[in-house]
Amino acid sequence: MDETHATEAPTDVAAPVRRSVLVCGVVQGVGFRPTVYRLAKEEALAGFIGNDTDGVTIEVEGPLSRVEAFLARLRTEAPPLSRIDSIVVSEAAVTGETGFRIVASEVLGRVSTGIPADAATCPDCLRELLDPSDRRYRYAFLNCTNCGPRFTITRRIPYDRPQTSMARFPMCPACQAEYDDPLNRRFHAQPNACWDCGPRVSLVGAEGAEIAVDDPVTAAIDRLLAGEIMAIKGIGGFHLSVDATNEAAVMRLRQRKHRYGKPLAVMVKDMAAARELCLLTAEEEALLLTPARPIVLARMREGNGIAEDVAPGLPWLGVFLPYAPLQHLLFADERVRALVMTSANLSEEPIAIDNEEARTRLGGIADAFLMHDREILQRCDDSVAAVVDGAPQLVRRARGFVPLGVELPLDAPPLLAVGGHLKNVFALARGRRVYQSQHLGDLENLTGLEFFKESLDHLMRTFEIQPQTVVHDLHPGYLSTEWAKEWAQERGLGLIAVQHHHAHVAGCMAEHGLQGPVIGLLLDGTGYGTDGKIWGGEVLVCRLDGFERFAHLEYVPMPGSTAAIREPWRMALGHLHAAGFDIEPEPVRKLLGATEQESRVLTRMMERGINSPLTSSLGRLFDAAAAVVLGRRTVDYEAQAAIEMEGIAVDQPYEEAAYSMELAGGDWAARDPMKIGTGPLWRGLLKDLGDGVRKPRIAARFHAGVAAGFVQAAVKARAVTGIGQVAMSGGCMHNRRLARLLRTGLEAEGFEVFQHAQVSPGDGGLSYGQAAVAAAILAKQR
Ligand SMILES: [Zn+2]
Ligand SMILES: [Zn+2]
Ligand SMILES: [Zn+2]
């Protein structure tokens, strides 16, 4: 050993050091400060913690070994609802202070901006709820730092009680003591409440008068079991509820709500009850139990006792578990087995949240209301998820996820992306974060637009983002496009239009940190193309900031335009006509239930190009196939025909022989896209039908054919571009069979395949992709 070492002063292990620690992520309103307080006390460290603009700031002082132990435990013992994105540690000067404090945000001179997502009742609170000796026994609004409403009860930042709808309920001394004690589970739990000081549940009749009963919850259960329709106030809005095992009650709900066909979600007590209804995989069970408690679309068990009309003609059921104490109380009654819990709205209108609004809008639907006096300040539907090809996928990203951010692979200046038309979700971006709004429904009318504006105001306030640029869909006729242009003009902001399918693929790329180029497989219903036609079956060569069209499904006419979306038999005639079949002879008409006159009129329309826009949509190809195979003449909800085609094939092997598609034409150097033709596919399908092949088998062959056609097109794209990465997106990626066939087919060809994980592949994810494209375009300009 070198002598110089011996002359150094030995390190004094007990000499104090001080470290400043900045923790970013979801760390506010989730019990992070009390956890840090407890850890610091246990390690006998001095210092403080306070909320900061983008996270929490901690300073700790003590022996180095203790400080290091604290930093290690910070990661491993973080509270369940928190998510640590980064921890930055820097050295600070030792101050000699003693004791550890939790300081108010003002002390740090910065505003905290975080509002956490709503979270399901935690096991500790559930135990108290059902414990007769607890002071909160059967109290429907109990919560703690590990659970409870957040986003939906908050008016503005910072997330403190006076800014929430709990402001009008002053805490009693017992609740206040919990709130002030850093070692209590309810330390700074903003919605903390009890029987003595908090909100109350009431039973209200259809005419709006309160019904005097001893226990409104038990009275509501009695009514549900008698077959009545109850409107039940939840976390993000009202639910309409009926006994899910009562066929007549379910039918009455459908009639009153004017909602036929579209499946209804069912809530059950716990996992054991969910297993009685559905065949659940481990991934599906994990998804059901996440704090967001989404509706999970899972395979239904035969003879599970659920009314036929809950999910007519489908092999899946949307099932979910209670997430609010009031819901747990309903299921604590042993008589309650399964309840339909569907958003309380008419068709695609926003969900009702206000007591008065609910009484007027739902008075004609509900027989009675189970209400309470805590206001919901943000509408938020239940989230919907499914396990697709072994991985969780969000169909609808709402309660429990909003307003959590999703990462971008590059910095964005403050911007607003307004999304699309159906299933609208907008997004605000700043830096590397994109904050998507809750699911807002279809942006077709003023009610939808009002909800959009109300929600935008709220999120802009919440995150203090003032957009400099507004991003919209290329479609000139979308209400969202018109609104974006007007809003940007009034404020003198920049505008960027993004092609619908470029945004879809860019979203998938950005989620995986890719900037391209990649081969984008885009399988969707509707999107406005750069040539003014309706796209939706596309092979794109994509970068975040731009794309080229390599191939697409051959254009076919949509006779009757949007009528062809509501009436798949029209699409079938369009497809068969384009594939060269004579659609007027009797056998074809009989297949589609079309009259002689209908097929004659449609033929003329298509031949003369009257009201028959051209489309390359895969969604419309699915519609056409469902019309031919299943005789599906009209649809009650979007994508119904495609969902039924997938449904009928559910038990078929994946190895089923594929119908073929033909690739033709195209000149990549001249940017002339290749065409994916469906003639051979239709010939194969019609032959099988004629030969009496079973319909599930035909549906499986159809899926296999579509997947094989797009895999072949990707192989062609790789041959000329050398690109080996494929990103898949679009609404058709919700189709489990198609997603799996595509992934396995592409991997067998040696591709690296990327799919959505945090945002929806459908139009609900569009605004995230729009933000990614705009960020890349703006970065290039700088
Ligand atoms: Zn709790
Ligand atoms: Zn209290
Ligand atoms: Zn789309």
Per-residue pLDDT of 177-200, as tens digits, reads 999 998 899 998 999 999 999 999
**Torsion sign (Cα): 580, 585, 590, 592:** positive
Kindly give the distance from the C-alpha atom of residue 350 to the centroid of ligand 1, in angstroms, as a whole number. 29
| Residues ≥6 apart with Cβ < 8 Å to 334 | none
Kindly give the distance from the C-alpha atom of residue 653 to the centroid of ligand 1, in angstroms, as a whole number. 45
Per-residue pLDDT of 230-278, as tens digits, reads 999 999 999 999 999 999 999 999 999 888 889 999 999 999 999 999 9
Q: Given the DSSP bridges, would you call strands 405-417 and 230-233 parallel, antiparallel or unpaired?
A: unpaired
**Which ligand neighbours the alpha carbon of 421 most closely?**
3
Q: Where are the beta strands (DSSP E) in 437-545?
A: 469-473, 494-498, 518-528, 534-543
The partner residues of 296 in beta bridges, in order of sequence, read 319, 385
Count of C-beta atoms within a 10 Å radius of residue 768: 31
Q: Given the DSSP bridges, would you call strands 725-729 and 614-615 parallel, antiparallel or unpaired?
A: unpaired
The length of the chain in residues reads: 782
Kindly give the distance from the C-alpha atom of residue 455 to the centroid of ligand 3, in angstroms, as a whole number. 22
Q: Tell me what the mean pLDDT of segment 598-625 comes to.
A: 94
Task: Answer whether the bond into residue 322 is a cis peptide, omega within 30°.
Answer: no
The partner residues of 663 in beta bridges, in order of sequence, read 676
Per DSSP, 500 falls in state H
**Which ligand neighbours the alpha carbon of 732 most closely?**
3
Q: How far is CA 221 from CA 34, 226, 326, 335, 381, in A?
A: 39, 8, 12, 8, 23
Kindly give the distance from the C-alpha atom of residue 325 to the centroid of ligand 2, in angstroms, as a whole number. 16
Reply yes or no on whether the pLDDT at 307 is more than 60.
yes
- What is the value of pTM for the model shown? 0.92
Query: What percent of the chain is predicted at pLDDT more than 90?
Result: 78
Kindly give the distance from the C-alpha atom of residue 524 to the centroid of ligand 3, in angstroms, as a whole number. 5
Kindly give the distance from the C-alpha atom of residue 576 to the centroid of ligand 1, in angstroms, as a whole number. 58
- Residue 24: predicted pLDDT: 86
Phi, psi angles (nearest 5°) of residue 239: -110, 150
Q: By CB neighbour count within 10 A (0-12 exposed, 13-18 middle, 19+ buried), where does 779 fall?
A: middle
Per-residue pLDDT of 29-69, as tens digits, reads 888 888 999 999 999 999 999 887 778 899 999 999 999 99
The partner residues of 47 in beta bridges, in order of sequence, read 60, 100
Per-residue pLDDT of 196-243, as tens digits, reads 999 999 999 998 899 999 999 999 999 999 999 999 999 999 999 999
Kindly give the distance from the C-alpha atom of residue 33 to the centroid of ligand 1, in angstroms, as a whole number. 16
Kindly give the distance from the C-alpha atom of residue 377 to the centroid of ligand 2, in angstroms, as a whole number. 22
| Residues ≥6 apart with Cβ < 8 Å to 318 | 263, 264, 265, 266, 295, 296, 297, 311, 384
Kindly give the distance from the C-alpha atom of residue 190 to the centroid of ligand 2, in angstroms, as a whole number. 12
For the record, the structure tokens of 221 come out as 């259960």
Q: Please, are residues 264 and 311 in contact by the beta-carbon 8 Å criterion?
A: yes
Q: How far is CA 79 from CA 32, 33, 74, 101, 400, in A?
A: 6, 10, 9, 19, 16
**Alpha carbons 172 and 186: distance in angstroms, whole number:** 14
Q: Tell me what the mean pLDDT of segment 79-85 comes to.
A: 88
Per DSSP, 763 falls in state G
What residues have their beta carbon closer than 5 A to ion ligand 2? 172, 175, 194, 196-197
Per-residue pLDDT of 710-764, as tens digits, reads 999 999 999 999 999 999 999 999 999 999 999 999 999 999 999 999 999 999 9
Query: What percent of the chain is predicted at pLDDT more than 70?
Result: 96
**Which ligand neighbours the alpha carbon of 198 most closely?**
2
What average pLDDT does the structure give for the chain?
A: 92
**Confidence category of residue 10, pLDDT binned at 50, 70, 90:** very low
- Residue 723: predicted pLDDT: 98
**Of the ranges 402-406, 587-591, 705-709, the best mean pLDDT one:** 705-709
- Residue 4: predicted pLDDT: 41
Kindly give the distance from the C-alpha atom of residue 192 to the centroid of ligand 1, in angstroms, as a whole number. 10
- Residue 296: predicted pLDDT: 98
**Alpha carbons 660 and 337: distance in angstroms, whole number:** 47
Buried b (16+ CB within 10 A) or exposed e, 409-421: bbebbbbbbbbbb
Per-residue pLDDT of 407-465, as tens digits, reads 999 999 999 999 998 889 999 999 999 999 998 888 877 788 888 998 999 899 888 89
Kindly give the distance from the C-alpha atom of residue 132 to the centroid of ligand 2, in angstroms, as a whole number. 17
Q: Which of 343-357, 490-504, 530-544 has the lowest mean pLDDT?
A: 343-357
Task: Give the SS3 label for residue 219.
Answer: helix
Kindly give the distance from the C-alpha atom of residue 493 to the centroid of ligand 1, in angstroms, as a whole number. 44
For the record, the structure tokens of 29 come out as 């309103």
- Residue 1: predicted pLDDT: 38
Kindly give the distance from the C-alpha atom of residue 92 to the centroid of ligand 3, in angstroms, as a whole number. 51
**Which ligand neighbours the alpha carbon of 526 most closely?**
3
- Residue 7: predicted pLDDT: 42
**Alpha carbons 237 and 293: distance in angstroms, whole number:** 15
Q: Tell me what the mean pLDDT of segment 280-306 comes to.
A: 96
Kindly give the distance from the C-alpha atom of residue 189 to the centroid of ligand 1, in angstroms, as a whole number. 9
Closest CA to 650 of 308, 376, 302, 410: 302
- Map tokens 């996928």 to a residue: 393
Per-residue pLDDT of 491-502, as tens digits, reads 999 999 999 999
For the record, the structure tokens of 88 come out as 């930055």
- Residue 487: predicted pLDDT: 96
**Which ligand neighbours the alpha carbon of 323 most closely?**
1
**Alpha carbons 744 and 38: distance in angstroms, whole number:** 49
Reply yes or no on whether the pLDDT at 348 is more than 80.
no
- Sheet of 427-436: strand order equals 427-436, 405-417, 469-473, 494-498
- Residue 462: predicted pLDDT: 81
Q: Tell me what the mean pLDDT of segment 92-103 comes to.
A: 92
Kindly give the distance from the C-alpha atom of residue 163 to the centroid of ligand 1, in angstroms, as a whole number. 21
**Torsion sign (Cα): 146, 147, 152, 153:** negative
Kindly give the distance from the C-alpha atom of residue 300 to the centroid of ligand 3, in angstroms, as a whole number. 28
Per-residue pLDDT of 318-340, as tens digits, reads 999 999 999 999 999 999 999 99
Per-residue pLDDT of 660-702, as tens digits, reads 999 999 999 999 999 999 999 999 999 999 999 999 999 999 9
| Residues ≥6 apart with Cβ < 8 Å to 143 | 121, 125, 149, 189, 191, 192, 193, 325
